[in-house]
C-alpha cells in the first residue's frame, strides 16, 4: 500500500513492515542540507493527514527541511487511515515526509509518535519502536525550565463533548467542502504570486458555534490536565493552534494546541530555555521570500 515505505493492510491485517532503505530510496523532493536548520529543543506537529488531498505536503517538507530538534512529538492523525480505506491517495510527496521523519530519527532526533483517531491502527503498537520512532498512547514532557506537560492527541475528550456532536457532523461535511475551496483559492493565489491563506482559520474566528466549541474543548482538556497534576497540556485534533492559560484550584494550567498541516500549517516549538512558541509556517515562508526579494533588490529594502 505504501510502496517500499510502509507495507501492510490498514483495514483488517493491521500490520506494518518493511521500512525503507534510506540511502537507496531518495525522496522525490531532494532534502535541503541539514546544516542550515533552526534548532529547537522540542518540536510538536500533528494532524498532517497523509493520504488525503488536504495534507499540505509542500509546506511540511519545507518545514522539515528548515527545522531540527532534540525531540519531536508527532501528536496524532499523521496518516489518515480512515480516508485511505475509502479512497487510496498517496503521492510521492507523502512518501517524502515519511522518509524525512525516518531519516530524522536515524540522525538522532528522539521521535515520539502518539497516534490519533485517524491513525488509531497504530495505537496497538504502543510501547514499540519502528525505525527509531517510539509509539506511545500519551507522553509527559519536561521543559527546560522544569514544567511538566502532558502530550496527547486529544480525541479522548470527544466523548465529553457529546452535546456538541451535531456540530461535529455538520462540521465534517462543511470542513471537507471548505478544504476543497481552500485548495482552489490557494492554487489561484499561488498562480498570482500571493502567499498562502487559510480560509477555515478565518471561518473559525467568525462562526460563533465553532468558537464556542473550540473554547469549551480547550477548557475540558486543560481541566483534565490539571487533574493529572501537570503544569500543562499539548494536544492537536481540533486543527486550531492555540495557547491559553486556565486556572484550576488556584493553580495555572497552560493549554497548547500545535494546530495542523491541512490548512493552518502550524507547529509548536520549545526553545533551549523552555520558552514555547507556535510557528505559523506560511508566515515564515512569506517572510523568507520577502527577505530574499529584498536581498535581490537592495533598492526595495532601503525603501521599506
Residue with cell 476543497: 180
Distance CA 173, CA 180 (A): 11
Interface residues toward Mn ion, by CB under 5 A: 77, 116-117, 155, 237
The 8 Å CB, 24+ separation contacts for 187-195 are 195/282, 195/285, 195/286, 195/289
CB neighbourhood size of 39 (10 A): 12
Pair 75, 46: CB distance under 8 Å: yes
Q: Report whether 108 contacts 269 (CB < 8 A).
A: no
Pick the closer one to Mn ion by CB: 46 or 95: 46
**For residues 178 and 210, what is the distance between their CA atoms, to the nearest angstrom?**
14
The single residue listed with the C-alpha cell 496497538 is 124
* Least CB distance to Mn ion at residue 77 (A): 4
Rg of the Cα atoms in the chain: 19
Tell me whether residue 104 or residue 237 sits nearer to Mn ion (CB atom).
Answer: 237
Least Cβ distance, residue 111 to Mn ion (angstroms): 19
| 20 versus 81: smaller Cβ distance to Mn ion | 81
Give the shortest CB-29-to-Mn ion separation in angstroms: 26
Which CA distances in Å does 16 have to 1, 9, 90, 102, 153?
10, 8, 16, 14, 21
Q: Name which of 103 and 201 has its Cβ closer to Mn ion.
A: 201
- Considering the complex, state which of residue 143 and residue 200 has its C-beta at the smaller distance from Mn ion: 200
Three-class SS of 4-15: CCEECCCCCCCC
Shortest distance, CB of residue 30 to Mn ion, whole angstroms? Answer: 31
Element housing 278 (H / E): strand 276-280
Q: Among residues 62 and 155, whose Cβ is nearest to Mn ion?
A: 155
| Distance in Å, CB of 80 to Mn ion, minimum | 9
Given the complex with Mn ion, which of 109 and 117 has the nearer CB atom?
117
Smallest separation, CB 24 to Mn ion (Å): 33
Shortest Cβ distance from residue 222 to Mn ion (Å)? 18
Residue placing its CB nearer to Mn ion in the complex, 143 or 257: 257
CA distance 22 to 303: 47
- Cβ neighbors of 87 (< 8 A, separation 6 or more) are none
Task: State in angstroms the smallest separation of the CB of 49 from Mn ion.
Answer: 9
Please tell me the total number of residues recorded for the chain in this structure: 304
3-state secondary structure of 94: helix
Instruction: Pick the closer one to Mn ion by CB: 70 or 156.
Output: 156
Rounded to the nearest whole angstrom, what is the least distance from the CB of residue 177 to Mn ion in the complex?
19
Amino acid at each position: 500500500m505504501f510502496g517500499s515505505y510502509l507495507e501492510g493492510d490498514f483495514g483488517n491485517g493491521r500490520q506494518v513492515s518493511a521500512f525503507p532503505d534510506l540511502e537507496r530510496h531518495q525522496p522525490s523532493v531532494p532534502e535541503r542540507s541539514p546544516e542550515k536548520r533552526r534548532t529547537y529543543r522540542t518540536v510538536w506537529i500533528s494532524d498532517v493527514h497523509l493520504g488525503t488531498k488536504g495534507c499540505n505536503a509542500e509546506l511540511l517538507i519545507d518545514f522539515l527541511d528548515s527545522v531540527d530538534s532534540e525531540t519531536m512529538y508527532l501528536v496524532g492523525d499523521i496518516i489518515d487511515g480512515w480516508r485511505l480505506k475509502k479512497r487510496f491517495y498517496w503521492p510521492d510527496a507523502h512518501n517524502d515526509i515519511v522518509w524525512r521523519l525516518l531519516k530524522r530519527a536515524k540522525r538522532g532526533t528522539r521521535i515520539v509518535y502518539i497516534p490519533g483517531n485517524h491513525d488509531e491502527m497504530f495505537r496497538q503498537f504502543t510501547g514499540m519502536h519502528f525505525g527509531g520512532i517510539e509509539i506511545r498512547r500519551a507522553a509527559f514532557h519536561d521543559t527546560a525550565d522544569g514544567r511538566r506537560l502532558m502530550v496527547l492527541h486529544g480525541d479522548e475528550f470527544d466523548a465529553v463533548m457529546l452535546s456538541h456532536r451535531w456540530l461535529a457532523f455538520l462540521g465534517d461535511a462543511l470542513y471537507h467542502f471548505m478544504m476543497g475551496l481552500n485548495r482552489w483559492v490557494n492554487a489561484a493565489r499561488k498562480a498570482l504570486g500571493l502567499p498562502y491563506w487559510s480560509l477555515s482559520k478565518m471561518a473559525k474566528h467568525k462562526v460563533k458555534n465553532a468558537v464556542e466549541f473550540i473554547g469549551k474543548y480547550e477548557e475540558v482538556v486543560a481541566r483534565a490536565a490539571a487533574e493529572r497534576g501537570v503544569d500543562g497540556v499539548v494536544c492537536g485534533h481540533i486543527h486550531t493552534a492555540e495557547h491559553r492559560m486556565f486556572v484550576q484550584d488556584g493553580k495555572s494550567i497552560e493549554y497548547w494546541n500545535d494546530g495542523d498541516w491541512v490548512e493552518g500549517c502550524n507547529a509548536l516549538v520549545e526553545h533551549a530555555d523552555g520558552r514555547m512558541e507556535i510557528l505559523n509556517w506560511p508566515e515564515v515562508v512569506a517572510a523568507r521570500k520577502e527577505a530574499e526579494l529584498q536581498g535581490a533588490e537592495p533598492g526595495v529594502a532601503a525603501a521599506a
